[in-house]
Amino acid sequence: MNPQLFFAFVVVAVALACTPGVDWAYSITAGLRQRSFVPAVAGLCGGYVLHTLLMVAGLAALLSGLPGVLGWLTVAGAGYLLWLGVSTLRSWRGASFSAADAVGKPANQLRTFLQGMGTSGINPKGLLFYVALVPQFVSPEASLPVPVQSGLLGLTFVLLAGTVYTCVALLARKLLQSRPGAARTVTLASGIIMVALGVVLLSEQLVPLVAGLAGTA
């Protein structure tokens, strides 16, 4: 693998992982509401591992070439974001973290993991990120086969994103656990971000899809 291309990919991947969005919102919420944020971060990384596997298998490029399928995936992802955002908004008043709360209300770690995996895995924009960006940093002349290079780049992003999301969750807990008012405000903002992105995705995809179905009827 070309070292210069790999370094350039790391720079771009870090910049993308450090851009606030739904993954950040979920990491912050997990850091404030749950005893351990590890299942949440692991779930987010698991979603990107899924994208990596799809990319290596060639399914990501195939799906990106099917606008109808990708559109319905976007609608499903938007619906999931809306559900997750509404769930966060309904519980934002109890966002402050304390050891007593953690012992009294143990988190369902499997559910937290699956929610995190759904947050990143069902998002078609993550799929498009792998399809559009990763191939730009693959060198056909390298000694490693292209699928291997793609897999290594994808897993590199998983590692970098996991590190960033862990830092985000840790900082949220350290800075806000002693400030219940600020913790509730941040959690409320996280829920609003999820709902807003879900609405935007629905508005971008649902109307054209319904119009297309009506046109073929």
Tell me the pLDDT tens digit for each residue of 163-189: 999 999 998 888 776 676 766 776 777
Q: How far is CA 160 from the centre of its chain?
A: 13
Lowest mean per-residue pLDDT among 32-36, 39-43, 123-127: 123-127
Q: What is the pLDDT of residue 12?
A: 85
Q: What is the pLDDT of residue 156?
A: 95
- Tens-digit pLDDT profile for residues 12-27: 888 888 877 788 888 8
pLDDT over threshold 90, residue 214? no
Spatial distance between the Cα atoms of 186 and 183, rounded to a whole number of angstroms:
5
Residue 60 pLDDT exceeds 60: no
pLDDT value for 113:
92
Who's near 199: CB < 8 A, 6+ residues apart?
78, 82
Residue 98 has pLDDT above 50, yes or no: no
Place of tokens 């903002």: 189
d(CA 47, CA 144): 25
Is the torsion defined by CA of 182, 185, 191, 195 positive or negative? negative
Q: What is the mean pLDDT of the chain?
A: 77
Cβ atoms of 108 and 162 within 8 Å: the answer is no
The residue type found at 30 is A
Q: Which two tokens stand for residue 206?
A: 């649902």
Q: What share of the chain is helix, strand, coil (3-state, %, to 5)?
A: 85, 0, 15
pTM: 0.72
Q: How far apart are CA 162 and CA 105, in angstroms?
A: 25
How far is the C-alpha of 4 from the C-alpha of 84, rounded, in Å?
A: 39
